[in-house]
Structure 1
Amino acid sequence: MPVLVGSMASITELNERLTQAGEDKIDIERFRPNIIIRGSTPWNEDGWKSLRINEDKQPLDMDVVCRCLRCHVPNVDPDTAEKHPRQPWNQLMKYRRIDPGLKFKPSFGMLCAPKTEGTIEVGMKFRATAMTNDHFFLSPMK
């Protein structure tokens, strides 16, 4: 199963855009990430090819497989089940339609595949071990 990695820097940048547009901020939990990282720049995750978590002890290596192209699920608050009719979908559609393979879906987060087995705990350090500009969503064959 893929692991969804989300970035606090990216949600902060999205929230700045939402508040500038007169909308409320949202929590990163709206995107349902499995792992939330801190200490990166906004949208830096778009170029990750591989990650290493907990390098000092038992490293966990992950391949970054593709961008997470979003549906409307992040419009629903996971705590209250209330659905916002427009956000964050509309804001993301303005500037996060970045995957040439599927131009009509916005991207937030990266889907990863663990290469090694291990345990992840709050506070573990991570680093991108390789970068790429080659992420490209392949549409299913019709």
Structure 2
Amino acid sequence: MGLRLSAITIYPVKSMAGIALQDSILDRTGLRYDRRWMLVDTNGKFITQRTHPKMAVIQPSISTAGQLSLRYQQDEHIVPLTDANSPRRAVTVWKDSVIAEQCSPFINQWLSNILETTCQLVYLPTDSIRTCDPQYAQADDQTSFADGFPLLLISQASLDDLNQRLVESVSMTRFRPNLVVTGCAAYAEDQWQQSQQDLQIGQSVFRVIKPCPRCVVTTVDPKTGLKTGKEPLATLSQYRRQGKQIMFGQNLAINWQAEVKQPLSVGMTISLSAPALSSID
């Protein structure tokens, strides 16, 4: 069968539930609509499942017109679109500060009631630029409200290997990848990063630039929004530790071509560039 793209997922609101797709369009910052919205506290600092695991069960949806809706239990609301006249504020994601548009006060109050903390939903407009960490990325690489890079990739074989080590298996949903691939060995994605191999999917080319450090979000059951103990982090720590971090999956950057429409579809074949000469001395 060869190497193939087996799943595509977007997370319109950072740390809320994802949306599985058969097809998606690649934008400058990653998959279209991925992490364009985010919750922040009164100081503008990002809020995630790390402190509010209930976010896992707030389900976004996106209309064909790009309108966001949010559902929690039986309650669902459309998030009014922001525009150039929407109030703006500075928000922070880790060490990055960007300007975001503020969403509806009604939605903010609704979400604050669910999470039992004062929060505000914000949107990243296209004229607000957040660049990636220059230690790993190129100067013009951009991302949205993701932790640091445009996309996260994990191979199905890597999850299968982890589940063979666990008493109770976990789903890929725990790790929140954008792209899942099949047709390779477990942790092959690490080898692609180490040998500086690019991935080509359709007309899109991706650089595999940095392993993804995992945190307590992986211990949240995405079906219940409850923390389930120390797994799978405890098991991962036994064989996936690099220094003080536990790695699983690889971050991707985009070789962006503004003039080329870059669709992605489940089932697409994936080709690898030749390894960099410096990696095979």
Q: Does structure 1 residue 53 correspond to structure 2 residue 197?
A: no
Paired position in structure 1 for 2:256? 116
**Runs of 4+ in structure 1 displaced over 2 angstroms?**
130-134
User: In 1, Cα distance between the equivalents of 2:238 and 2:188?
Assistant: 18
Matching residue within 182, 191, 207 for 1:63: 207
Question: Which residue does the alignment assign to 2:161?
Answer: 13
Look up the equivalent residue of 1:109 and give its one-letter code. G
Instruction: Give the direction of change, closer, same or farther, for the CA distance of 1:43–1:131 in structure 2 (3 Å limit).
Output: farther
d(CA) in 2 for partners of 1:42, 1:10 = 4
Shift of 1:130: 4.1
The answer to whether residue 93 in structure 2 is matched with residue 93 in structure 1 is no
Deviation, 1:62, is 0.5
Q: What letter is aligned with 1:44?
A: A
Equivalents in 2 of 1:82, 1:33: separation in Å? 20
Give how far 1:131 is off.
4.0
2:171 maps to a residue whose letter is D
Q: 1:77 to 1:127 in 2, by over 3 A?
A: farther
Is 1:42 paired with 2:186?
yes
The offset of 1:5, in angstroms, is: 0.3
Equivalent pairs: percent with the same residue?
34
Aligned to 2:227: 83
1:55-111 CA distance string (max 9 Å, x none) = xxxx210011100011111111222212121100000000001x3xxx121111000
1:20-65 superposed Cα distances (whole Å, 9 cap, x missing partner): xxx21001111000001111100111021321112xxxx2100111
RMSD of aligned residue pairs (Cα, Å): 1.7
Partner of 1:28: 172
Assess, with a 3 A threshold, how the Cα gap between structure 1 residues 85 and 130 changes in structure 2: closer, same or farther: farther
**Number of residue pairs matched?**
122
The 2-side partners of 1:30 and 1:127 are apart by 27
CA distance in 1, matches of 2:263, 2:223: 26
| Structure showing greater relative contact order (alpha-carbon pairs closer than 8 Å, 6 or more residues apart) | 1
- Bigger CA radius of gyration: 2
Q: Distance in 2 between matches of 1:53 and 1:15?
A: 27
Secondary structure at 2:215 match in 1 = coil
Q: Is the 8 A contact 1:64 1:111 kept in 2?
A: yes
SS state at 2:157 partner = helix
Unpaired runs of 5+ residues, structure 1, are: 135-142
> What secondary structure is seen at the aligned counterpart in 1 of 2:229?
coil
Q: Scaled by the length of structure 2, what TM-score is found?
A: 0.41
